[in-house]
Structure 1
């Protein structure tokens, strides 16, 4: 009898600003590692985490690697599903064209549905 494998839904939630501490970088590193090992997962940027996606970041002055540049390489890791909190984008005055990767905006109800449907949820 053939074994049927059910695909589990993994969601990685990015909640922290890119340069306020180590959590944002740890989440980016985890996303890159998961992609490198061909794990299927989706990313959700919420709250100040949406700032990680800004295209025009200059982190040279503070001596840190550019979070936006790192995230722009996600397609190389076969990361295809990126979601963003639409309310957070509006709050920070960010448009979808300002992001380093294409992202699907979600309202609060859609975010609840996404998080509720996850088999595995990792939040940074």
Structure 2
């Protein structure tokens, strides 16, 4: 039997301006159910999906925190954020809803090469 194909999901969309954030997390959970190794990368506006204590109810939308908290139960633990994006947005790891692995932007190309498939939301 062949090895499962790995997938990198790049999140670059703000959490509540479109359905991209929720769809990317749905996809990650679905792939994990089929035992595909999943990595998530949050860059640019996608970083805002990870911020603690958001109040999207005012926009009549659901929080992403419940889906984010489910990731470890689905063995999705490779969650990356660029140190540059954190710094440029005046954020620290303590502002995020979950533990992440900090990488430098120049490591993104290597991360993409390490995976069989890459999807961007």
TM-score if structure 2 supplies the norm length?
0.89
Q: Are 2:104 and 1:98 equivalent residues in the alignment?
A: no
Q: Provide the C-alpha distance between the structure 1 equivalents of 2:120 and 2:110, rounded to a whole number of angstroms.
A: 16
Q: Provide the C-alpha distance between the structure 2 equivalents of 1:9 and 1:35, rounded to a whole number of angstroms.
A: 10
CA contact (8 A) 2:22 2:64 kept: yes
Who wins on radius of gyration, i.e. which is larger?
A: 1
Q: Which ranges in structure 2 are unaligned for 5 or more consecutive residues?
A: none
Equivalent residue number for residue 18 of structure 2? 21
Question: How many angstroms does 1:68 deviate by?
Answer: 2.6
2:80 to 78, 83, 88: 83
Q: Which ranges in structure 1 are unaligned for 5 or more consecutive residues?
A: none
Q: How big is the alpha-carbon RMSD for the aligned residues of Structure 1 and Structure 2?
A: 1.6
Equivalent residue number for residue 109 of structure 1? 106
Q: Provide the C-alpha distance between the structure 2 equivalents of 1:77 and 1:89, rounded to a whole number of angstroms.
A: 26
Which ranges of 4 or more aligned residues in structure 1 deviate by more than 6 Å? none
TM-score if structure 1 supplies the norm length?
0.87
Q: Provide the C-alpha distance between the structure 2 equivalents of 1:86 and 1:20, rounded to a whole number of angstroms.
A: 24
Change (3 A) 1:61 1:92: same
Q: Provide the C-alpha distance between the structure 2 equivalents of 1:6 and 1:30, rounded to a whole number of angstroms.
A: 19
